[in-house]
Chains A and B, each alone.
Chain A
Amino acid sequence: MSVRALWIISHEKGENVSIRFTRRFATVEHRAKILAGSSYRSVPEDNTVLQLLLTELGLSDSDKSYVALRDDCLHRQRLPALELRVDGPGKGFLWPVLVISHGPLTLACLPLVDVPAEPRPPLASLLSVSQGFTLLAGLQTFLLGSGGKPDSEGLASRLAMLPSVLLQVCPLGTPLDVPLLGAPATPTVPTPAGNQKQPAWKTGLHRGRAVVNVALIETVRSMQYGNRSRQDLWDVYGTVTCKCEVEGVLPNVTVTLTLPPNGSPLQDILVHPCVTSLDSSILTASSVDNCDGSAFSGPYKFPFSPPLEPFRLCSYTSQVPVPPILGSYQLREEENQLRVSVTLKLHESVKNSFEYCEAHLPFFNRVQMGVVDVKVSAGQLDVSKEKNLLVWGLGQKFPKCREVTMEGKISFSGPTPGPTDPLCTELTSYIKLYFKVPDMTLSGCCVDQHSVQVYSSAKPRIVTSRELQSKEYFIWNSTGTAPVASGQMML
């Protein structure tokens, strides 16, 4: 349940590599030595580890097209747990090295193997592996912020805080907690003497007016082919985020999600560890199983005791009968130009009031656009500065008929080649939609303000909100070959 060492490195695609932070846990190493006996491999010095790690991640020798050690086809990188081949005296394998990367930052740790090491045990038998992941993920969020955008100064100052952070969350190699993202914004007071034990994940107590904020965000993804032989795909997942400022050591709050009468059940529900109890019927519906029509369809009650900081109370997936926007996209090669024809239809069940709605038409593996002779029935059309992308802004509303079209011709005659993409060659091309609709969900799921119960003396202020947003919403050109996005539909 412990880790032997921890490394944080930064690099730009294998270049400018530097070790930003390392920590070795000597007592865990001591245990590793006893546990492994003669098969014990000590952890080499940092520079060696770094080299091995880069090779294993396929980032070393970026100037060479084939390096046997790095590119052997037999050797499948068993991410998330790598095996580092240590050379020289005491050679052998360091395993399992857990790695998580985001942008230029890579975090790695070496969990302790506390079951017999020969034959190699499955990852699943080592609790230290999931503990290691939790630690790495927590550190990553701490270093990059919840937005995940690294800025070098912020990163440096957060790296400087790591020694004291580790004293709190992992003083001797056994992870105890994940780092807090910052002090809670509300005033807190130390624990009063009392019988109720304070949760270890709660750094203090809230004092002041009770406010409960529940935000429901649904995300829709889609792959539309406009092709009879291939089924269009779309899926929806929702998250409920809470921020609760409630007095008491262990206050009780209940949030209830409800569906409209004929709504399809929420599936794959995952809950935050602060949820105190669950009804088994809530968990039964699953997206990977036969959907049982008689399945439980709410209300979904989530009793919990909130931590001080904002948290994701639960998430779910849902199967909705239609995509919110149905599109068709046709490209034809004509002499030296492309003939474009696009139709987008907003489904009648979707509120026609967007925060934003944009369609992007990128063109890869071609030179820059020359003459763009394209008409749209609504909205506004822009050509990007690099001249390889059409941006069709649809504004806040579709027209009354709920349908917009684009027709026209584009010639490619620019001097410089545009971006390349191995997937989108010839007529393989897509439109990507970006939109957000406030105050609605596709599944119909909602959190009623009155259904939020807070068991405390003062009457709390309760704020709820919901919205729908798109992510990876693709409409493929129906005249080209489009890649398969899910084999599930093919089988």
Chain B
Amino acid sequence: MAVNWAERISAFCRGPSRFLSGTTAEAFLAELLRELRDDRATYTVKILLLAPLCEYPTLLCPSDSVGEETALELMSVFDQCPPKSVQFRCHLLLGLTSVLVCTSCVSDRSRASQDFLDLLLQIAQDTSDLHADGALRSLRATACDCLRELEACSPGLLSQRLELLSGLRQRETSRLHQAYAGLHTLVLRNAVYQLTQEAGAGAEHLKALLGGNASIAWELDSGPTQGEDPALLSSLILGPMGTVPTLQTGPDCKELRSVLSSLLEESYLLTVPCQAALLHRLTEVVAMVPGVPPAVFRAQLLRLLGTSEVGLFHATLLMKGAFTDSLFSAEDEAFMLQRLVVLSQHPLLRTPEKLFYTDCILHFPENRPIGCGDGGDETLPVLLTPRLASALVPTVFNDSATMLARLNLLSLVYLEEGEEGEGEGGRGLAYLHEHLTSLLRIMENRGGREVVVTFFRAAFLFLFHFGHVERYSHSVMEKLSAVYLRHTHLAPNFINLADRTQDQLAESSWAVGFLEALQRVITEAPLAQLTAQALSRHLKVLARVAEEGEVPQHSSLRFLSSVITPSSSSLCASGDWRLGNGVLAVCRRLLVHPSLDSLLAPLADVLQHLARRYGDTDVRDHARLYYTLLTTLSREKLAAVLAQGSTEGGRQVKKRSLSSIMVESERLTSMLTIHRTEKTIFRLIEAHPEPREGTQTDKERDLIRNETESCPGEANAALEAYRAQFEVPGFASDIALNYQLTHTESEDSRFDRLFSIRLHFDLTDDHYEPLGDVSVPCLLRERRSPNVRLRLKPRRPYPTTLHASAIFTTQDGLSWLTTLPHIHVAFREAFAPLPAPPAFGRDGKLRLFDGLWDEIGAKSGGEDLADCATSLFCCPLKEAALIALVEEHFLPYLLSDPSDKEEFKVLFFLPPRSHVLLKIRSEDPVHFDIATDNWRLLRYISSYLLTISSTQDHAVTG
């Protein structure tokens, strides 16, 4: 069958979890490996097949052992692949690297990874490909890359091969020397790092290391533990404040110096990314060995400082961070900063690069930093004068990201200047203010959404830095509030700006003043032109204004009162529910406003008017409720009743009681939305064995034993009668699994009493029909765990995993969504006793067994029903152990007389239509003859038998 692999692989890569829900990772991996071994598949397809292994190795190889096996398989594919399929072989090496690294085979130094390492070293040394096509990347280069990646993921792996790698690098004259250089540098860096961690390591050790002479008193055997140390994988260059581990060697490190200078001399021959990486690695090495002066880099510096390549300049900046004034003079420093400013606005560079350079200015590695520029803080370099920075002032021609980055930078510059007087800083600040005004004008002139968002971000930045400069912050406030009436659709942005300035500028009262100004423009505007749309936005703003205790609210109330009285608007008559709620939202906040006493009468009037006249019942009812609350409750009570609506995360039970019926758009969202739990709250555990259907039939069997059997005498006839039952749709098609729902150990008392739990199950494959939700009325920590019964309808009775989630309510009325630990359904859980007609006694069932046995035996070799198969499983078991095993595991499925110890006949029925028959003879070893009408079950049954027989063995012998 032709499978469209291109499509399947791309479907996998687009959404691996979705793809794997239609199959299992195990099956998909098996398919991939089979196809990779298939000689008929083309190499183009085979390269495709490797993609999932390269990109998602841990998904396909969930355990180290699977990874190990897969790697062995891939290596055998590699061995059999003709040398001319270079591309495929390269991809195979990449796939192998991914699998071995990600399943931690490499860090555990597993056998497959050792073999692979040997293979790679062998390829890396094989120079017989000299005359290969230069356009194709050779296998050798890929092998070097793989070695480099292995070393990167498991530092120290190749420390002992340093001399070999150095030799390979030096001898190579083709372009491949780059791959060797990258590998050599990394191994060198890791080896030196490891030496710094060895107590007492010194010049001798370093020399031995470089000479490949590991026998000299150096026992840095790369044990399996070293690979996972994050410090080893980290960059060692943290800037002037970071500490680098050092190796004390004294001034004499001739060997290391000669290696370094040879690498540096040839660095020019490398591509830009490799050159940058090499310089960075060597910077780390020199930083770790104080015996080597940083001046080894000097010869490269001019070339690097003049470069147009971002990677090389960046590597130089990092070098400066590592060596500061031991390599870079004060003039160098000034020059580099100047360069950064030039590069930040260079017409030939791409915007992202320029933004990156701008960012670098704020994290410039100074030789003598003032203060601790540690971490991600943005600090201005001392040398960045306003004059220098003026090349980066924001203009309206900048794209928004550039403009904001520059505005931020220049704000910092002028902030510093401004404190020292009204000189240039004052002019600069005036310019920024002017710039903000231009942005505002552009936004007003029908600027699009991006322009709007950019303006508000710029405004926030300006206020963030200069909120304390009264003159300008006041001017911004006035301009903004003047704009509002013409552009009411910006109400959410205005509110957002007020919120953020209030959060971020704790000491400033700008936000309050701003809201007050908005209140003024809204309430003073003539009502004649007020549209419903604008009104709804005004109400949102006023609701926000009403949250401010310091802002007098009389004008808001006058405004409300005038919009709802019929003379000025038809609002009340229209009975628009949303607008009504908008008004209520303002009122509700006023009910808890500190100046409520003075608002009492006008607020009561508004509410009363709404309650009587408003055209919408819901709004009327709410207004009446508010009115009642306002007029009957004392202030304290009123505040207590309503307050929790505004205190986020309050957990009182009463949270639900009143506020939830208050206003539509309140912070009620916390009540209406479903929250997510951070931890698992409860789980399903398998219920202790309780009466299952199997035991029931045992009882039935005893009952029936004495009755006359109405079962057909012939095996064939018994089979027919048995099969006839399956004509009824849904007959014996499900398996029932019993669980108990229990709390996990977590101590969160909020979740002690849970109600209305609705469990939802997701399948991870398509072997079963989808499950319906299950409801559990309550789960209380102090009570008995409720039982949950799942009815699974198999399409194919294979083991599976269910993902479970639940929605529930806590006592305080919040709804929660939580995930439960996955539920694993074992193969044995799919077993059901034989659904024989009730009239069949033991004999009838035995006849059925024999009938099935013969039929399978006859068919397994034949053509017609290829699904049938027979098999044999043997294991050494003492007789007592066998009997114990049968009693423990097989009793519900045992058809033969339990007293007959010679041969047990066991039948597992697996819905919907599969049977597994066992004849167990107690010989030595014990023979389990297996017959089944579904050969796909064989691998599960044998692993099942293996498990139970081995535990039984232990149980009895041990």
Contact = CB atoms under 8 A, between A and B. Distances in A.
Contacts of B447: 422
A27 B173 contact: no
B819 interface: yes
A422 B446 contact: yes
Nearest to B234: A114
Nearest to B443: A422
A116 B234 contact: yes
Nearest to B360: A124
A191 B134 contact: yes
Contacts of A121: 375-376
Contacts of B390: 487-488, 491
A89 interface: yes
B94 interface: yes
Interface in B155-200: 172-175, 177-179, 182
A221 B404 CA distance: 23
Interface in A23-40: 23-27, 29-31, 34-35, 37
Chain B interface bracket (under 10, 10 to 19, 20 to 34, 35 or more): 35 or more
A103 to B, nearest CB: 13
Given A22-B13, A484-B435, A287 B273 contact: no
A48 B446 CA distance: 33
A271 B342 contact: no
A206 B47 CA distance: 33
B376 A127 contact: no
B315 A127 contact: yes
B131 interface: yes
Nearest to A130: B314
Given A122-B376, A276-B268, A483-B397, A133 B353 contact: yes
Contact of B352 (A46, A79, A88, A280): A79
A83 B427 CA distance: 35
Nearest to B349: A270
Interface stretch (B453-461, B518-526, B690-698, B778-786): B453-461
Interface string A245-284: 0000010000000000000000011111101111110111
Contacts of B735: none
A194 to B, nearest CB: 6
Majority secondary structure, A binding face: loop
A30 B496 CA distance: 40
Interface string A219-233: 101000000000000
Interface string A183-205: 10000101101111111111110
Nearest to B450: A58
B650 interface: no
Contacts of B446: 420, 422
Contact of B101 (A27, A135, A193, A484): A27
A395 to B, nearest CB: 28
Interface string B643-685: 0000000000000000000000000000000001000000000
B814 interface: no
B307 A270 contact: yes
Interface in B11-63: 13-17, 47, 51, 54-58
Nearest to A472: B397
Given A172-B145, A197-B177, A488 B314 contact: no
Interface string A418-440: 00101101000000000000000
B149 interface: yes
Majority secondary structure, B binding face: helix
B149 to A, nearest CB: 5
Interface string A346-379: 0000000000000000000100000000000000
Contact of A74 (B148, B302, B504): B504
B461 A268 contact: no
- Interface centre among A88, A268, A420, by most chain B C-beta atoms within 10 angstroms, is A268
Nearest to A30: B102
B848 to A, nearest CB: 49
A485 B396 CA distance: 7
A193 B174 CA distance: 8
A41 to B, nearest CB: 15
A171 B435 CA distance: 47
Contacts of B230: 34-35, 37
Nearest to A250: B269
B14 A197 contact: no
Contacts of B434: 484
A488 B389 CA distance: 9
B87 interface: yes
A47 B15 contact: yes
A174 interface: yes
A177 interface: yes
Interface stretch (B204-212, B275-283, B875-883, B920-928): B275-283
B843 to A, nearest CB: 56
Contacts of A79: 351-352, 355, 401, 405
Contacts of B625: none
B273 A483 contact: no
Contacts of A135: 273
Contacts of B339: 286
Contacts of B266: 197
Contacts of B396: 423, 483-484
A176 B352 contact: no
Contacts of B346: 268, 270
Contact of A177 (B273, B303, B400, B442): B273
Contact of B438 (A100, A171, A483): A483
- Interface centre among A45, A193, A282, A491, by most chain B C-beta atoms within 10 angstroms, is A491
Given A26-B58, A66-B493, A204 B134 contact: yes
A276 B145 CA distance: 27
B135 interface: yes
B299 to A, nearest CB: 9
Nearest to B177: A197
B1 interface: no
Contacts of A124: 314, 317-318, 359-360, 363-365
Contact of A176 (B102, B145, B314): B145
B153 A23 contact: no
B424 A31 contact: no
A45 B400 CA distance: 29
A99 B47 CA distance: 29
A134 B272 CA distance: 9
Nearest to A66: B492
A334 to B, nearest CB: 23
A335 interface: no
B273 A131 contact: yes
B235 A26 contact: no
A441 to B, nearest CB: 16
A188 B134 CA distance: 10
A422 B487 CA distance: 15
Given A73-B456, A198-B174, A99 B277 contact: no
A157 B370 CA distance: 54
Question: Which 3 A-B pairs rank lowest in CB-CB distance, beginning with the nearest?
Answer: A487-B393, A80-B352, A200-B178
6 contacts: A124-B364, A130-B310, A134-B309, A173-B149, A276-B303, A280-B302
Interface of A: 1-2, 19, 22-27, 29-31, 34-35, 37, 45-47, 58, 62, 65-66, 68, 70-81, 88-89, 98-100, 114-116, 119-127, 129-131, 133-137, 163-164, 167-168, 171-178, 183, 188, 190-191, 193-204, 219, 221, 235, 237, 239, 250, 268-273, 275-280, 282-284, 286-289, 312, 314-315, 317, 365, 420, 422-423, 425, 483-488, 490-491
Given A1-B276, A487-B435, A488-B390, 10 more contacts: A1-B277, A47-B14, A80-B353, A100-B351, A134-B310, A163-B47, A167-B91, A270-B307, A422-B443, A425-B445
